């Protein structure tokens, strides 16, 4: 179960990062579509996030510093959920930009905020599980620590 959560969350991050990394300007636009920060900052977040996501994915995949990676994952997911909720509350019609794309929706398209949030809550549960029980099989952490309890 722990291993499945770790690898599952790893794949989510790798996919999320890979879908954005090819067009960093577009990632910045997707962030800016939320209208929560000045454009300069949106650009920084947009450009940095895909690389952070991929790194998180790799850490989780091989199982290094699982507890930290799970903690950072949980923090990011909480921020994402808050962002989507705030877009929803403010009545913006945007694509969440979670896995590439992003930006304003075309006329006639309806946002899928509820689905986006539900999905992120699911990921948050995975991250929470790993935060509480970071020790999983087939991880570098467990090899290094010889199967003993650790608070990595």
Partner 1 sequence: MGKDRDKRQQAKRAVRALRAQEQRRQRALWTSILAALLLVIAGMIGYGIYLTQRPPAEAAPPPGATADGVGIPVGSGPVTIDVYADFLCPICRQFEENAGETLDKLVAENKATVVYHPVAFLDRYSTTQYSTRSAAASGCAAEAGKFREYAAALFERQPPEGGPGLSNDELIAIGTELGFGDTFSKCVSSGKYRSWTARVTDEATRRGVVGTPTVFVNGQPVSADPQAITAAVNAAQ
Which of 33, 81 has the CB closer to partner 1?
33
Query: Whose CA is closest to 50, among 71, 31, 74, 70?
Result: 31
Q: Does 147 bind partner 1 (CB under 8 A)?
A: no
Using CB under 8 A as the binding rule, the residues of this chain from 68 to 107 that contact partner 1 are: 68-69, 72, 94, 100-107
143 binds partner 1 (CB under 8 A): no
Please tell me the chain's helix, strand, coil percentages from 3-state DSSP, rounded to the nearest 5: 65, 5, 30
Sites for partner 1 among residues 111-140 (CB under 8 A): none
60 neighbors 69 (Cβ within 8 angstroms)? yes
Is 28 a residue that touches partner 1 (CB under 8 A)? yes
Single residue of 18, 36, 133, 150 touching partner 1 by CB under 8 A: 150
Query: What tokens appear for 42 in the block?
Result: 């949106």
């Amino acid at each position: 179960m722990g291993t499945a959560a770790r690898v599952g969350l790893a794949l989510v991050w790798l996919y999320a990062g890979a879908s954005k990394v090819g067009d960093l300007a577009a990632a910045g636009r997707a962030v800016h579509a939320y209208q929560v920060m000045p454009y300069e900052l949106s650009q920084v977040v947009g450009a940095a996030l895909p690389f952070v996501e991929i790194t998180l994915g790799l850490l989780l995949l091989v199982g290094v510093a699982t507890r930290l990676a799970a903690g950072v994952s949980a923090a990011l997911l909480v921020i994402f959920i808050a962002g989507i909720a705030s877009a929803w509350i403010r009545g913006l019609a945007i694509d969440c930009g979670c896995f590439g794309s992003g930006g304003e929706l075309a006329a006639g398209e309806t946002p899928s905020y509820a689905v986006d949030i539900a999905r992120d809550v699911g990921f948050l549960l995975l991250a929470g599980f790993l935060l509480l029980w970071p020790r999983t099989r087939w991880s570098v952490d467990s090899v290094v620590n010889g199967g003993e309890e650790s608070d990595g």
